[in-house]
Amino acid sequence: MTKGNYVDGFVLVIPKKDVAAYKKLATEAAKTWKRFGALDYKECVGEDLKPDTGGMPSPLTFTKMAKVKAGETVWFSYIVYKNKKHRDTVNKNVMAYFAKKYKGKSQDMPFDMKKMAYGGFSVVVQ
């Protein structure tokens, strides 16, 4: 993995019927973010969402936190940058690119934006 000091992280709930559409959107997004300077871009689909804790108290799972319903799955995604300033510059350029590309066109997302969590994080340990 490319080392960076800042990460944007996302948790999304994707209806299983829309996974192909989301993968298409995510593939375009990955190419675009990297084109404008992101160091790394990952989209990860949930696989082990009810982990065995070996007798330890059960943590809050992604499925519970995101209130996942039958027919939905959880994705964890992240984009890596040099630092926050670099992230701000990359995102500004990406948003300008997409605004120009989709000018006047509404783009439906293959997930519920109200069930998406997002945040920017400083890397503390590598």
What pTM, to 2 d.p., does this model score?
0.89
SS (H, E, C) the chain: CCCCCEEEEEEEEEEHHHHHHHHHHHHHHHHHHHHCCCCEEEEEECCCCCCCCCCCCCCCCHHHHCCCCCCEEEEEEEEEECCHHHHHHHHHHHHHHHHHHCCCCCCCCCCCHHHCEEEEEECCCC
Residue 13, domain CATH: 3.30.70.100
- Structural domain tally of the chain? 1
Is residue 53 included in any domain, yes or no? no
Express each pLDDT in 68-119 by its tens digit: 999 999 999 999 999 999 999 999 999 999 989 888 777 788 888 888 999 9
Q: Which domain holds residue 24?
A: 6-48+62-102+111-122
